[in-house]
Amino acid sequence: MNYFSSSFKLGILGGGQLGKMMLYDTRKYDIQTNVIDPNPEAPSKFACNFFEQGDLMDYETVLQFGRKVDVLTFEIEGVNIEALEQLEKEGKKVYPQAAVLRKIQDKGVQKQFYSEHHIPTSPFTVYQEKDDLTEALVRKEWEYPFVWKSCTGGYDGNGVSIIRSEEDLIPVPDVPCIAEKMIPFKNELAVIVARNPVGEVKTYPVVEMEFHPEANQVEYVICPARIDSAVAKKARELAVKVSEAFEHVGLLAVEMFQTQDDKVLVNEVAPRPHNSGHYSIEASYTNQFEQHIRAILDLPLGDTESKVGGVMVNLVGDESHEGQVKYQNIEKIMKMPGVTPHIYGKKQTRPFRKMGHVTIVHRDINKARKIAEDVKKEIKVISR
């Protein structure tokens, strides 16, 4: 099929920052794009060929949008799966496939999938309601502390709590959830796997993720991860095993724990471009967004290796500011070597909202990490 400078249309469900960054590459290749998002001022609106406002969880909305395009993808998991399944029955190419999203959208189903496929993950139990978990605690089936996760609807640290005592369980909502054993880990790692319909598979180098202690959000992503080469090899091989089990088309971001004794466990996955791959825009031969497009259009996959070391810093809303956004001291960070800011186009800031990111590239990853710290200290996302 001729995708370039033609009447071919790629549909994207979701118009947030991931969609916006995907559109950098559809523009590069002159591929027509249709985007739908509930927000009339979504970041992707200004870069696509056709924008539509609509509810991504509404069956009829997603169905009608999907019928207007040739290939359909998504940049967020919160979409109507039944509509995707119907589109596939009608012969529409939906990538990643509806069956993949169904296994991933519910974290309880996702964890059980790992057990069934002998994929190492932390011990867990799924509960349909809060009372079931409370009863399990009374029966001493769980010891404090443990991790509580909502089965659906969680993102950027929302829907995840560390339960250290009975009191911590009080504010937790009464929804289907997972109790998960806390793993004493050395590092949180991630590997992005790209896979196209003919089964070509490539992995990106292992990245190391440093988290904000309060917001439970990634603060720094470091590539390459500062880990032993044997652990890196193990992580990439495990990511391929996970990819083969899901048989996805497109990108799969596999988040992992490196334990104290250097085992690698899968935490969770995302079937789309991912925060842990943003560094690739500046640091890789083929960035993750271009790779996703190559994969879903069954084009040859690009080189995943890095040209240079890269560190990504998330720009999130200051915890004491809400309202019209202002990026304080952005000129100062732009004077620093190897620094590239990405502003997502969200007009309103609020505490810990992802508003952009900054990539720092340097041949020496430790120097890049030091500059990243300087960036973090200098720039503030505040309100006017």
Pair (233, 350) in one structural domain = yes
135 CB contacts (<8 Å, ≥6 apart)?
none
In the prediction, which pLDDT does 30 show?
97
pLDDT band at 215 (very low <50, low <70, confident <90, very high): low
Return the closest-CA partner of residue 78 out of 105, 103, 40.
105
Overall domain count for the chain: 3
End residue of a domain, out of 131, 155, 181: 181
Let me know if residue 242 belongs to a domain: yes
The whole domain housing 152 covers 123-181
Pair (16, 35) in one structural domain = yes
Annotated ligand binding at 268? The verdict is yes
Rounded Cα gap, residues 35 and 12, in angstroms: 5
Pair (169, 256) in one structural domain = no
User: What percent of the chain lies above the pLDDT cut of 70?
Assistant: 98
In the prediction, which pLDDT does 170 show?
85
Let me know if residue 321 belongs to a domain: yes
Q: How does pLDDT run across 138-176, given as a tens digit for each residue?
A: 898 888 899 999 998 766 567 888 899 888 888 888 899
In the prediction, which pLDDT does 212 show?
73
* Contact criterion met (CB below 8 Å) for 54 and 29: no
Around Cβ 159, how many Cβ atoms within 10 Å? 19
In the prediction, which pLDDT does 152 show?
86
Annotated ligand binding at 370? The verdict is no
In the prediction, which pLDDT does 3 show?
97
Bridge-based pairing of strands 185-195 and 250-259 is: antiparallel
Q: How does pLDDT run across 183-196, given as a tens digit for each residue?
A: 889 999 999 999 99
Return the closest-CA partner of residue 194 out of 256, 249, 232.
249
Tokens in use for 180?
A: 């998960």
Pair (175, 202) in one structural domain = no
* Contact criterion met (CB below 8 Å) for 358 and 283: no
In the prediction, which pLDDT does 216 show?
66
Pair (172, 206) in one structural domain = no
Q: How does pLDDT run across 94-133, given as a tens digit for each residue?
A: 999 999 999 999 999 999 999 999 999 999 999 999 889 9
End residue of a domain, out of 166, 181, 196: 181
Looking at the DSSP assignment, which residues form a beta bridge with residue 161? 148
End residue of a domain, out of 94, 114, 133: 94
Cis before 213? omega within 30: no
CATH number, domain of 282, equals 3.30.470.20
Annotated ligand binding at 180? The verdict is yes
Rounded Cα gap, residues 14 and 154, in angstroms: 16
Question: Environment class of residue 140 by beta-carbon count within 10 Å: exposed (0-12), middle (13-18) or buried (19+)?
Answer: exposed
Rounded Cα gap, residues 182 and 271, in angstroms: 24
Pair (253, 365) in one structural domain = yes
Annotated ligand binding at 244? The verdict is no
pLDDT at 233 over 70: yes
Let me know if residue 106 belongs to a domain: no
Let me know if residue 351 belongs to a domain: yes
Annotated ligand binding at 149? The verdict is yes
Q: Which amino acid type is present at position 298?
A: D
Let me know if residue 102 belongs to a domain: no
Pair (360, 299) in one structural domain = yes
Let me know if residue 89 belongs to a domain: yes
Pair (293, 244) in one structural domain = yes
CATH number, domain of 134, equals 3.30.1490.20
Let me know if residue 110 belongs to a domain: no
In the prediction, which pLDDT does 157 show?
61
In the prediction, which pLDDT does 156 show?
59
Pair (243, 155) in one structural domain = no
Pair (131, 168) in one structural domain = yes
Query: 272-295 in b/e burial notation, b at 16+ Cβ within 10 A?
Result: bbbbbbbbbbbbbebbbbbbbbbb
Pair (253, 352) in one structural domain = yes
Pair (301, 258) in one structural domain = yes
Rounded Cα gap, residues 270 and 101, in angstroms: 9
In the prediction, which pLDDT does 13 show?
98
On whether the pTM is more than 0.75, the answer is: yes
Dihedrals φ, ψ of 76, to 5°?
Answer: -150, 145
Tokens in use for 254?
A: 């596999």
Let me know if residue 100 belongs to a domain: no
Rounded Cα gap, residues 350 and 204, in angstroms: 32
Q: How does pLDDT run across 323-355, given as a tens digit for each residue?
A: 999 999 999 999 999 999 999 999 999 999 999
